[in-house]
Chains A and B, each alone.
Chain A
Amino acid sequence: MRLRVIRTAAAMTFGAVLAGAAACSAPSDGKGGAGGGTGDSLVVGIAQEPDTLSPLLGYGKDGNSKIFDGLLRHDADMELEPALAAKLPEIGDGGRTYTYTLREGVTFSDGTPFDAEDVVFTYETILDEKTNNPSKGELDALDSVTAKDEDTVVFRLRYPYAPFAERTVLPIASKEAAAGQDVNTGPYNTEPVGTGPYVLTGWSRGEKLTFEANPGYWGGAPEVERLTMAVIKDDDVRATRLRSGDLDAAVLPPALADTFAGDDGRRVIRARTADFRAVTLPTAGPVTGDRAVRRALDTAVDRQAIVDSVLGGAGRAAYGPVPTGSPWFAEGTERRHDPRRAKEILEDAGWKAGEDGVRRRDGRRAAFTLWYPSGDRLRQEHALAYAADAEEIGIDITVESGTWEVIEPRMKDDAVLSGGGSPADPDFDLYPLLHSSLALDGFNNMAAYDNPDVDRALEEARRTNDRAARAEAYAAVQRELAENPGYTFLTHIDHVYVMDDAWQGVTTQVEPHDHGLGAGPWWNVEDWRPKK
């Protein structure tokens, strides 16, 4: 009798649990699936998932956000072209005002019309100090945004800032959908409403994001009707799922991508990038503070060997943040790998060979510590190769790993294997890396590089909109960086992708360091056409 009570109770509990669970939907399934459509679909394996889908918190700030459009966008050659703006902005008041005329007849995916109020709302919310957007510093130049009328928006800057238009690829949020809720944790973070070529249909965190073509897209409905971004952190699992046909495309490390090279019906695509790896050489350090040491290291490092061995050939030697293939690159600033010259530089500066093979000057050993973020294999291998080259010329580098929390307080004195790179404008990398006013400000100018000539050239290049004058200023910066390096730039790494060869119009842009779901061959998936 008692056992029967227990049995009944257990069965009831269990039944209730099942019923309760079945009543749940998949987490954050915004609108529920529309079922497998008849159109073409694409499943992409990506490594990192966005923290939020709200542009107000930084999602898609470099463009290609799928769900949203910016006022402008980049084409395959990284040239600006109008998107939600009808044409490129008019620049006035000596580079202090940018006036955008908006495209007419554009609506958000929920049917509400897009107008100047949405643009003003987006930028003002990002600049609001209560908004937790970690990238808001990119709009540092922006003073105010005003809607002159329904179709005209005027940006007023605090100082003339030539690359400002590059920042306006930032996605425009819908004021109607996003206003009136907590910008930091409100539903707009997971249920975005935009004007873009795709509409989010589901986001299961840590698993995947699913999109459906926006039939009313102002640029024409995309032919890839269903788009899935599967979040798979592990490279091997991603490769396996690609091989099994679960994925149609994926980002992969070069070595794994090469295993697909011979496959019929698949393409291996290498995207060139501005994604650099460099060693910061703090000017406050007793050893790295000596210009001769920095120059010797710059000469002693064998960049091509790192490209060949560490990157498996998928990358290029870097001599500064500006990639060698960029139109902004200063020809002639390439440095030859020359350990003998490096030793001469050290000898001339008074660094004499010691008994243990490490040079000394005034009793100080030529030794310092180089940190890399733990778990980052690529940076680890860069660091070890760099230390090996330094040992050749009698400089002893201890390579250590730690989390950023460990590294941050040591950045002032120790070297760090850092990374970064924004292809859109040289100002985005050069200014925060080199300008003395940003020395050790957050993670800016980690080397505390301080060079008045460089400061002056950087400021000049910001102020003028004359492209030739800007190019000359940046060339001067790059030449000065060769003479007095604050960092040893090592490589620009290629991003490698494998995908089914079933589409026309597949290209790549020059990609930035942070490549979320907007980078990769699918940056313009909305324009793809199936191969017949």
Chain B
Amino acid sequence: MRTALRAGPPWAPLARLAGRRALAAVPVLAAVTLGVFALAAASPFDPVRQYAGSAGLRASQDTLDQLRENLALDGPFTEQWWRWLTSAATGDLGQSVSLRQPVAQVVGERLGWSVLLCALAFAAAVVLGTVLGTAAARRRGGWLDRCVTGGSYVLQAAPPFWLGLLSVWLFALQFGVLPAGGLTDSGEDTVTAASLARHLALPVAVLALSQLPWFALYVRQGVADALHEDPVRGARARGLRERTVLLGHALRSGLLPVLTLVGTRIPELITGALLVETVFSWPGIASATVRAATAADFPLLAAVTVLATAAVLAGNLLADLLYVLADPRIDPEEM
């Protein structure tokens, strides 16, 4: 263990780790998309019905049959999946039936907005969670600790869409200080930084709040435990300043479990974004997912599922990489 102390980060083993994970991801992604096609085929929604909308309620059987043929919805789901997979492998993600656009265009237009929303919310949750958790751990049982812990449990129990609706009601309807949704004001076309910030405020806040409790509670626990460990007690005994002890020793050691959490929270973040984007009419990829699911839009659904799965796998990889960097005792070859 002691001999493993290194001069710098082990770049080569890290790269090999990333490569191994990327290879393992291929069969996982294929299996996940097969599952999506199976689920969509089993769903009670009829894609033709969903496509035709209200016009379908006055369409003749001929028209509906022709639509079914054109939308290439014949055949078992395994066949449809294989068709999708082979064309996706060549770079053609297919056409989104529900949005009447190529899937690549849908993803291209929307991904940035989702990433912006998620990244801001995640960063806010990590930073705020670390600050609150550390502050709470300093005096366990103190009033701040009680507020942070109690508040975290309440937030953990609150579903994001409920938080979203509550914040719309409070800030948009009651106080009228922030817009209720969308990317720009109703009468506006262009996205300016100021209006973007105003429209981002509520969705980012809600998404961050839904993630915050996990970080606050983990950091609190980690830092509190570390405060009782030998190195910290030793540091105190040596007469180091409390600030140095807390931030330099206890927090650094207490943050290790949080790195793991970063990876495991990605799925929750995506689920949260799904709900938040729907509530706030945010033009991101998550709201397109909801539409794709209800319309049994196979190509779009498969593409967004691949994206979500890839994000989760990447999150796990990132957490592992950070862990190796932060803790020299970990051997990347064994992960």
Of the candidate stretches B29-37, B76-84, B181-189, B301-309, the one touching chain A is: B181-189
- Least CB distance from B294 to A in Å reads 10
Decide: B112 and A185 in contact? CB cutoff 8 A.
Answer: no
Could you give, for residues 449-474 of chain A, a 1 whenever the CB lies within 8 Å of some chain B CB and a 0 otherwise? 00000000000000000000000000
Of the candidate stretches B113-121, B133-141, B144-152, the one touching chain A is: B113-121
Decide: B60 and A21 in contact? CB cutoff 8 A.
Answer: no
Decide: A21 and B326 in contact? CB cutoff 8 A.
Answer: no
- Least CB distance from A256 to B in Å reads 15
Q: Which residue of A lies closest to B168 (CB)?
A: A237
Q: Is B87 an interface residue (CB 8 A)?
A: no
Q: Which residue of B lies closest to A247 (CB)?
A: B186
A513 to B53 alpha-carbon distance, docked (Å): 13
Of the candidate stretches B42-50, B154-162, B203-211, B232-240, the one touching chain A is: B42-50
A388 to B53 alpha-carbon distance, docked (Å): 31
Of the candidate stretches A144-152, A203-211, A482-490, the one touching chain B is: A203-211
Partner of B281, one of A21, A29, A201, A207: A207
Q: Number of contacting residues on B, CB 8 A?
A: 61
Q: Inside 8 A of B3's CB, which chain A residues have their CB? A: none
Most buried by B among A182, A404, A442, A514: A442
Partner of B49, one of A23, A41, A404, A420: A404
Decide: B325 and A20 in contact? CB cutoff 8 A.
Answer: no
Q: Inside 8 A of B123's CB, which chain A residues have their CB? A: 14
Decide: A443 and B71 in contact? CB cutoff 8 A.
Answer: no
Q: Is B289 an interface residue (CB 8 A)?
A: no
Q: Is A325 an interface residue (CB 8 A)?
A: no
Decide: B61 and A442 in contact? CB cutoff 8 A.
Answer: yes
Q: Is A51 an interface residue (CB 8 A)?
A: yes
Q: Is B180 an interface residue (CB 8 A)?
A: yes
A25 to B123 alpha-carbon distance, docked (Å): 23
Within 8 A of A (CB), among B104-128: 109-110, 112-113, 115-116, 119, 123
Partner of B46, one of A25, A182, A184, A405: A405
Q: Is A35 an interface residue (CB 8 A)?
A: yes
The range of chain A's interface size is 35 or more
Q: Inside 8 A of A206's CB, which chain B residues have their CB? A: 281, 283, 287, 291
Q: Is A180 an interface residue (CB 8 A)?
A: no
Q: Inside 8 A of A43's CB, which chain B residues have their CB? A: 186-187
Q: Inside 8 A of B189's CB, which chain A residues have their CB? A: 26, 29, 32-34, 201-202, 210
Decide: B9 and A57 in contact? CB cutoff 8 A.
Answer: no
Decide: A237 and B180 in contact? CB cutoff 8 A.
Answer: yes
Decide: B112 and A3 in contact? CB cutoff 8 A.
Answer: no
Q: Contacts A27-B283, A35-B190 known; A20 to B115 CB distance under 8 Å?
A: yes
Q: Which residue of A lies closest to B63 (CB)?
A: A137
Q: Inside 8 A of A228's CB, which chain B residues have their CB? A: 186-187
Decide: A134 and B51 in contact? CB cutoff 8 A.
Answer: yes
Q: Inside 8 A of B102's CB, which chain A residues have their CB? A: 185
Decide: B57 and A189 in contact? CB cutoff 8 A.
Answer: no
Decide: A442 and B60 in contact? CB cutoff 8 A.
Answer: yes
Q: Inside 8 A of A135's CB, which chain B residues have their CB? A: 55, 58-59
A210 to B254 alpha-carbon distance, docked (Å): 51
A514 to B123 alpha-carbon distance, docked (Å): 45
Partner of B100, one of A184, A204, A420: A184
Decide: A137 and B59 in contact? CB cutoff 8 A.
Answer: yes
A208 to B188 alpha-carbon distance, docked (Å): 10
Most buried by A among B44, B71, B98, B180: B180
Q: Is B221 an interface residue (CB 8 A)?
A: no
A247 to B49 alpha-carbon distance, docked (Å): 32
Decide: A26 and B183 in contact? CB cutoff 8 A.
Answer: yes
Partner of B52, one of A14, A134, A201, A406: A134
Q: Which residue of B lies closest to A201 (CB)?
A: B189
Could you give, for residues 6-23 of chain A, a 1 whenever the CB lies within 8 Å of some chain B CB and a 0 otherwise? 100000001001101111
- Least CB distance from B92 to A in Å reads 12
Q: Is A58 an interface residue (CB 8 A)?
A: yes
Q: Is B96 an interface residue (CB 8 A)?
A: yes
- Least CB distance from A141 to B in Å reads 13
Decide: A443 and B287 in contact? CB cutoff 8 A.
Answer: no
- Least CB distance from A122 to B in Å reads 17
Q: Inside 8 A of B101's CB, which chain A residues have their CB? A: 185, 189-190
Within 8 A of B (CB), among A32-65: 32-36, 41, 43, 51-52, 54, 57-58
Q: Contacts A135-B59, A182-B95, A443-B56 known; A17 to B115 CB distance under 8 Å?
A: yes
A230 to B188 alpha-carbon distance, docked (Å): 11
Q: Which residue of A lies closest to B126 (CB)?
A: A10
Q: Is A532 an interface residue (CB 8 A)?
A: no
Q: Contacts A6-B322, A134-B67 known; A26 to B49 CB distance under 8 Å?
A: no
Decide: A52 and B100 in contact? CB cutoff 8 A.
Answer: yes
- Least CB distance from A134 to B in Å reads 4
Of the candidate stretches A166-174, A238-246, A342-350, A517-525, the one touching chain B is: A238-246
A140 to B62 alpha-carbon distance, docked (Å): 11
Q: Is B90 an interface residue (CB 8 A)?
A: no
- Least CB distance from B203 to A in Å reads 13
Q: Inside 8 A of A190's CB, which chain B residues have their CB? A: 100-101
- Least CB distance from A526 to B in Å reads 18
Decide: B119 and A3 in contact? CB cutoff 8 A.
Answer: no
A51 to B51 alpha-carbon distance, docked (Å): 9
Q: Is A130 an interface residue (CB 8 A)?
A: yes
A28 to B325 alpha-carbon distance, docked (Å): 42
Partner of A403, one of B45, B98, B183, B287: B45
Closest 5 interchain pairs by CB? A33-B189, A24-B112, A21-B116, A134-B52, A27-B109
- What are 12 A-B residue pairs whose CB atoms fall within 8 Å in the complex? A6-B322, A21-B119, A24-B109, A26-B183, A36-B187, A51-B98, A134-B56, A182-B95, A201-B189, A207-B182, A210-B189, A441-B62
**Footprint of A on B, CB under 8 Å?**
9, 44-46, 49, 51-64, 66-67, 70-71, 95-96, 98-102, 109-110, 112-113, 115-116, 119, 123, 173, 176, 180-191, 252, 281, 283, 287, 291, 322, 325-326, 328
Extra 4 A-B pairs, beta carbons < 8 Å, given A21-B119, A137-B60, A204-B183: A14-B123, A17-B115, A51-B100, A189-B101
**Footprint of B on A, CB under 8 Å?**
2-3, 5-6, 14, 17-18, 20-29, 32-36, 41, 43, 51-52, 54, 57-58, 129-130, 132, 134-137, 140, 182, 184-185, 189-190, 201-202, 204-208, 210, 226, 228, 230-231, 237, 240-241, 244, 246-247, 403-406, 408, 418, 420, 432, 438, 441-444, 513-514
